[in-house]
Amino acid sequence: MRGTRWSARPQGACHRPCQKTCGKIRISGGGRCNFTNIGAGPQQFLSENPHFAKSALARYTSADFVALVDRYGIAWHEKTLGQLFCDGSAKEIIAMLLDECRVGGVEIWLETAVSDIQHDGGRYRLSLGGRPVTARSLVVATGGKSIPKMGATGFAYDVAARFGISVVEPRPGLVPFTLDPGLQADLEPLAGIGVPVEIACGAGRFREAMLFTHRGLSGPAVLQVSSYWSPGDEVTVRIRPDIMLSDALTTAKRDKGRQAAANALTDHLPKRLAHYFADRAAVDGHLADLSDKVLQRLASSIQDWRFKPAGTEGYRTAEVTLGGIDTLALSSRTMEASAVPGLYFIGECVDVTGWLGGYNFQWAWASGVAAGEAV
Ligand SMILES: Cc1cc2nc3c(=O)[nH]c(=O)nc-3n(C[C@H](O)[C@H](O)[C@H](O)COP(=O)(O)OP(=O)(O)OC[C@H]3O[C@@H](n4cnc5c(N)ncnc54)[C@H](O)[C@@H]3O)c2cc1C
Tens digit of each residue's pLDDT (9 = 90 or more) over 213-231: 999 999 999 999 999 999 9
Other Cβ atoms closer than 10 A to 210:
23
pLDDT category, 3, cuts 50, 70, 90? very low
Backbone angles phi, psi at 202, to 5 degrees: 55, -130
Whole-angstrom distance, CA of residue 221 vs CA of residue 296:
25
Evaluate whether 295 touches 332 at the Cβ level (below 8 Å).
no
Looking at ligand 1, which atom is closest to the CA of residue 22?
49
The protein residue whose alpha carbon is closest to atom 51 in ligand 1 is 319
Tell me how far the alpha carbon of residue 162 lies from the centroid of ligand 1, in angstroms. 22
The H-or-E segment that residue 367 falls in is helix 359-372
Taking the centre of ligand 1 as the mean of its atom positions, its distance from the CA of residue 154, in whole angstroms, is 12
34 Cβ inside 6 Å of ligand 1 = yes
Q: What is the pLDDT of residues 19-33, one digit of tens each?
A: 578 999 999 999 999
Does the pLDDT value for residue 107 go beyond 70?
A: yes
**Which atom of ligand 1 is nearest the CA belonging to 8?**
43
pTM across the whole model: 0.94
Distance 143 CA to ligand 1 centre (A): 5
Q: 142 in ligand 1 pocket by Cβ < 6 Å?
A: yes
**Candidates 18, 21, 24, 150: which one to mutate for ligand 1, based on the most atoms within 8 Å of Cβ?**
24
Distance 259 CA to ligand 1 centre (A): 52
- The pLDDT assigned to 284 comes to 87
Pairwise CA distance, residues 211 & 221, whole Å? 9
pLDDT at 121: 77
Domains (ranges, CATH) in the chain?
23-173+322-374 (3.50.50.60), 176-312 (2.40.30.10)
pLDDT for res 242: 98
Pocket-testing residue among 146, 162, 319, ligand 1, by greatest number of atoms within 8 A of Cβ: 319
Cα 225 to Cα 272: distance, rounded to the nearest angstrom? 25
* pLDDT tens, position by position, 259-301: 999 999 999 999 999 999 999 999 989 999 999 999 999 999 9
- pLDDT band of residue 10 (cuts 50, 70, 90) is very low
Task: Determine the distance from the C-alpha atom of residue 4 to the mean position of all C-alpha atoms in its chain, rounded to a whole number.
Answer: 33
Residue whose CA is at the smallest distance from ligand 1 atom 14: 319
The pLDDT, as a whole number, for residue 98 is 97
Find out whether the beta carbon of 10 lies less than 6 Å from any atom of ligand 1.
yes
Query: Residue 19 has what pLDDT?
Result: 52
User: 257-260: long-range contacts (C-beta < 8 A, 24 or more apart)?
Assistant: 257/286, 257/287, 257/288, 258/286, 258/287, 258/288, 259/286, 259/287, 260/284, 260/285, 260/286, 260/287
